[in-house]
Structure 1
């Protein structure tokens, strides 16, 4: 802890890596720091996010934390879930009473205890909603969103998220404000290749069935069958408990004989060197995405992107001419879209350059940081 004894803004988050919501938590913390506030962040584990926060002057705590995951609802895990709820509740109450924060910022809806504790201890509480699955069963969304009725206000990352929240619990939508994600990128990015010599496809994201890296793999295999010298680079890792999917993906690579044409980098904090070497970025998600940071990063890298035609992704990059939309989970459509880019390469290069300029303005991290800081300061006063 620092020598700063002012009442802080307390930010709590369910992750510790540098995926989409992790990066937004970091940007929110930076925004409050730039506004001159003391900021304390509580995370369930230490990971790549911690040094980034500390470099911004943020104090980091690693308390026992209850995270509402699907595994917690399985009957065989109920005893462990009860234990985690008790430990997480005690830790949360202790932290709030010790810090007496000006306001509490709950990042992601899978932290159900913190809004209730914030309300009970009379701390102005804001939930930042990054998750939206309109296709999920209504009872599932009710379980996820209901604890956040205890929050005084909500931030949602897109109009699609706002509609999904409202369809589940209208009262939550009425206290929600849309603040689109801010997505950072290098000041300058390398131009795309003038002429193609092979075709480099990049996937960035969780290695999971939901995100569809296996769909990207199938599409690349189809391209190679059609005579396109395509390669695939995967950036990302499986989440704990989903290691079986990683093994399945490795077996799929071998089954297609693509060992020499697929590179799996694992998790990388800095994705921009790989994007700079890409010809196209794919986001083949099978299920709803609330926003689509990876798709935006592809636009900011000045590369064509092919993404699933789902509301959150269309809202994020639908206005850009270098973005193509395909049915989620359809490897054939994905391959056809990639062939279209190869066949009209010069046109897509020009579109991608123009789109980057527009996206840099639209997704400026500075605007996001300022909006979140002002929102949290207003919540603290209110």
Structure 2
């Protein structure tokens, strides 16, 4: 049995968190023993412990904007050295066969690789556009210290190659997979009508995602406002929390909604555990990420739930959504075009149903959990047997 050490950036339940959970719980435990190190306690830690996964919480620095200054760099370096000692002490005397870093925001795997003298996989879920220096530094480090880089989509792979710091031969694409037993069109959702006071004969358009600078919540609202004003039976929903210290982003959305004139038709909700029910509650799922989204897990979940998809035509969603097959894609940043695409589906129930059926078929064919786990198992075997 091979001991795989996983390093991750948090303990929430958003895209990369869910994918890590699927991976460590789905591996063949006769072949691999996952050991997960998280920087904080939270929902992800709880879920892993419930699944009998070995989890350790060690406070270590994550590459964030707060460190992007002189004092921040000094603080990061000191914190980094201290956390490496803590992690090494946690596994003192134990054999580690492979390190798996689950995001470019975690650099601790570099020092651990050198100390433990084991192979390193860097699992890249990001397309970093700004700051450019962060893109080049993380690309250099991933290219220099990893044996293999796993990109979650073709756009992610190409973006890394564009840095000219990573060989294409080092990068392998493994599409994320999700558990269709959780995200399916069978999840019950009738209780949501009463909870949120929504008419059952309404048309419901929603998006799910952490509120940040580029997920597109503002674009979503601006696209929906004119449609809501024309259709009193139409409702818009946004689900998602914020990073610590960024509650002001939510407050901005609240101000935007309050001044829209259609506040009664909009529901802004915090992160919830019953997202599977909400996917089924929605008639249309929208994710207008203003930056290229590598391979948005929420879109996979919506597809598994049999929903038609609307988004911007860039990033990983272009691999997931075939235009006029299972959704419609707008010109990136073009809010009127986004609004037009959403309106096309609002006005055509049969088209929504057909696209939704196609979404489910496509997700099962190309983004299955079984294929995801098989590809990682093969990669682990290749790196630990040499």
* TM-score, L = length of structure 1: 0.90
Contact 1:202 1:281 in 2 (8 A): yes
Q: What is the SS of the residue equivalent to 1:376?
A: helix
Q: Distance in 2 between matches of 1:129 and 1:370?
A: 18
Give the counterpart of 2:219 among 215, 218, 221: 215
Q: Distance in 2 between matches of 1:120 and 1:37?
A: 21
Partner of 2:196: none
Structure 2 gaps, min length 5: 191-199
Give the counterpart of 2:110 among 112, 115, 136: 115
Give the counterpart of 2:12 among 13, 17, 22: 17
Q: Does 1:51 align with 2:46?
A: yes
Give the counterpart of 1:127 among 122, 125, 129: 122
Aligned residue-pair number: 374
Give the counterpart of 2:185 among 183, 189, 195: 189
Partner of 1:338: 342
Q: Distance in 1 between matches of 2:26 and 2:181?
A: 19
The CA deviation at 1:119 is 3.2
Matches for 1:121-270 after TM superposition, within 5 Å: 121-133=116-128, 135-136=129-130, 138-148=132-142, 149-186=144-181, 188-190=184-186, 197-227=201-231, 229-270=233-274
Q: What is the SS of the residue equivalent to 1:206?
A: coil
Partner of 1:3: none
Partner of 1:327: 331
The CA deviation at 1:307 is 0.7
Change (3 A) 1:138 1:76: closer
Contact 1:64 1:87 in 2 (8 A): no
Q: Does 1:104 align with 2:99?
A: yes
Contact 2:241 2:271 in 1 (8 A): yes
- Bigger shift: residues 353-362 or 148-157: 353-362
The CA deviation string for residues 40-85 of structure 1, in whole angstroms up to 9 with x for no partner, is 1000001111122123321100012121112111234344323322
Q: Distance in 2 between matches of 1:64 and 1:311?
A: 32
Partner of 2:300: 296
* TM-score, L = length of structure 2: 0.90
Change (3 A) 1:54 1:373: farther
Give the counterpart of 1:281 among 282, 285, 310: 285
The CA deviation at 1:312 is 1.7
RMSD: 2.4
Structure 1 gaps, min length 5: 1-5
The CA deviation at 1:279 is 0.8
Q: What is the SS of the residue equivalent to 2:342?
A: helix
The CA deviation at 1:161 is 0.9
The CA deviation at 1:163 is 0.9
Partner of 2:275: 271
The CA deviation at 1:323 is 1.1
